[in-house]
C-alpha cells in the first residue's frame, strides 16, 4: 500500500510545526525567566530565595511516593479487572489516578508537618 505524497508532506509539516512550537516555548520560558532574574539583580533584591534548598530536599520523597502510588494503582486496577471482571481501561485509569493523588496528598501532609517542626 502506497502512502500518497501529500500525506507524507502533511505529516512532516505537522511534525515541524509541533516541534518548532515546543522549541519556541522552551526558549521563551528561559528568556523570560532570565529577564526577570536580571531585573531582580538590578533592583538589588536578594536572589538567594530563588534557589531555596528546602523545596528540593523532599523532592525525591515526593517522586518516590508518587511512583509508589502509581504502582499501587496498577496493582489494584489489575485485581479489579481479573477478580471482578470490570472494564480494564476504566479500572486501571481510575485506580492509578486515585492512588497517585492520594500519595501526593499524603506527601503534602508529611511535608507540612516537617515545615512546622
| Residues 70-116 pLDDT 10s | 999 999 999 989 998 888 888 999 999 999 999 999 999 988 877 66
Q: What is the largest CA-CA distance in the chain?
A: 67
Q: Which domain holds residue 75?
A: 52-116
Task: Judge if 87 and 104 occupy the same domain.
Answer: yes
Task: Judge if 62 and 94 occupy the same domain.
Answer: yes
pTM: 0.55
Q: How many domains does the chain have?
A: 2
Q: What is the DSSP string of 70-102?
A: HHHHHHHHHHHHHHH---HHHHHHHHHHHHHHH
pLDDT of residue 37: 86
Task: Judge if 44 and 19 occupy the same domain.
Answer: yes
pLDDT of residue 30: 95
Asked if residues 66 and 97 have their Cβ atoms less than 8 Å apart, the reply is no
Name the phi and psi angles at 2, rounded to 5. -90, 140
Task: Judge if 42 and 93 occupy the same domain.
Answer: no
pLDDT of residue 115: 65
Q: Mean per-residue pLDDT for 33-51?
A: 83
Task: Judge if 11 and 39 occupy the same domain.
Answer: yes
Amino acid at each position: 500500500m502506497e502512502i500518497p505524497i501529500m500525506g507524507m508532506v502533511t505529516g512532516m509539516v505537522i511534525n515541524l510545526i509541533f516541534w518548532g512550537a515546543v522549541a519556541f516555548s522552551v526558549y521563551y520560558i528561559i528568556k523570560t525567566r532570565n529577564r526577570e532574574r536580571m531585573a531582580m539583580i538590578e533592583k538589588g533584591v536578594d536572589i538567594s530565595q530563588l534557589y531555596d534548598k528546602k523545596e528540593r530536599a523532599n523532592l525525591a520523597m515526593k517522586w518516590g511516593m508518587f511512583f509508589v502510588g502509581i504502582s499501587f494503582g496498577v496493582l489494584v486496577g489489575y485485581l479489579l479487572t481479573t477478580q471482578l471482571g470490570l472494564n480494564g481501561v476504566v479500572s486501571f485509569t481510575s485506580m492509578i489516578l486515585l492512588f497517585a493523588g492520594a500519595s501526593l496528598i499524603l506527601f503534602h501532609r508529611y511535608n507540612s508537618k516537617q515545615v512546622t517542626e
